[in-house]
Amino acid sequence: MNPMNPKNLKNMLITGASRGIGAAIARAAGSAGYRVGVNYQRSEAAAQKVVADIHAAGGEAVALQADVSRLSEVVRLFSEMDRSLGTLDVLINNAGILASFRVDALDEEQLGAVFQANVFSSFYAAREAVRRMSTAHGGHGGSIVNLSSVASRMGGLSGGAAYAASKAAIDTFTLALAKEVGREGIRVNALRPGLISTEIHQVHGGLDRMHSMAAEVVPLGRAGAAEEVAQAALWLASDAASYVHGTVMDVAGGR
């Protein structure tokens, strides 16, 4: 038995977990018995609130600061996760940003920021996770769940070409990584959320506009909740999904 983990609970690291879908996954994971690493970049108070909620519900969690768009910070993040909670079992690549700008108006800094946050971060975190989980590296296996978006197959909203393209990269990355590490004990899957009620939509006119749009275009007639995405993420990460691999699963109300 691991002396750092006397209950032998599984450890999950969630990037970008201080709010929105990441926070919902963290709280659900804590309730499900995971020991949770709650990564944040700037919002320390929000991350500590997620940790406090998990503790209040009887779970274990720690807040871990890092800008996951930078490889050196991802290396530090995983080292801190190792020291704080021990062996990694599940990585949720959730960190990312929404952006709204036309292609004919973009500049290098804008485009770079989107891909660094949405794509590079997932590559960097997956690198560190595979180095710990893979049986080829002496690990005991694990699960990686990447967060994509239905924008990857629909092109996104007006001004959302960069965001949509970055999420399409995550879809392909998921399939490619699954082929690389499936025989090394690691399952890799992705979720494609649709219109989910989180504050990320402020860049496209706010929640009221998003809910109005959802009522019109989503077959279920409503936006989704972050908690609904969280339950799908926990299922993909769990042994209940033991033969689900290389899959990109929509959580989009039929859209």
Q: Which residues are catalytic?
A: 163
Pairing of the two strands 186-193 and 248-251? parallel
Is 3 buried (19+), middle (13-18) or exposed (0-12) by CB count in 10 A? Answer: exposed
Residue 130 and residue 146: Cα distance in Å, rounded? 14
CB 218 within 8 A of CB 173: no
Residue 167 and residue 210: Cα distance in Å, rounded? 19
Q: What tokens appear for 8 in the block? A: 């032998």
CB 150 within 8 A of CB 160: no
Residue 157 makes CB contacts below 8 A (sequence gap 6+) with: 100, 151, 204
